[in-house]
Amino acid sequence: MNREAALCLGTVRPGFSADGVKGLRQVEGRTVMIDLDADAEFLAPLLQGVRIFVGYAGWSASQLDAEIARGDWMVFPSLTADVLAHARIDLWARILRRQEGKLSMLATHPIELERN
């Protein structure tokens, strides 16, 4: 785990595109990965908001794909609003509530199992 690394996700403003913009890489829809070494003054007018994640733990080649195939991860479609959700919002529960069937029930699962 590298605690000195940081990743930055953001959303471009409606009507803007990340295509060809130095410092932005489109992830999906309006969601972009932002190069933290890029010119912030240049990028700021294009962005609706950003979220910085501090710390990085990488995977070996194909490790994440294997973990997903094994069912170790739940992968769901995202919404642009998820990227900028306020810190007080339980994003995990919000995303699970959008799912169909029994998966949506996981939204009510306590974060700390011993409190169940």
Q: pLDDT per residue over 54-86, tens digit each?
A: 987 788 889 999 999 999 999 998 888 898 888
Mean pLDDT, the chain, whole residue set: 89
Region 22-31 average pLDDT? 94
The more confidently predicted of residues 88 and 72 is 72
pLDDT at 49: 94
pLDDT on residue 108: 84
Q: Which is higher by pLDDT, 15 or 78?
A: 15
Q: Where are the domains of the chain?
A: 1-58, 59-110
Q: Between residues 80 and 4, which one has the greater pLDDT?
A: 80
DSSP per-residue letters across the chain:
-EEEEEEEEEEEPTT---TT-TTEEEEETTEEEE-TTS-HHHHGGGEEEEEEEEEE----TTHHHHHHHHTSS------HHHHT--TTS-HHHHHHHTS-GGGGGGGGS-SSGGG-
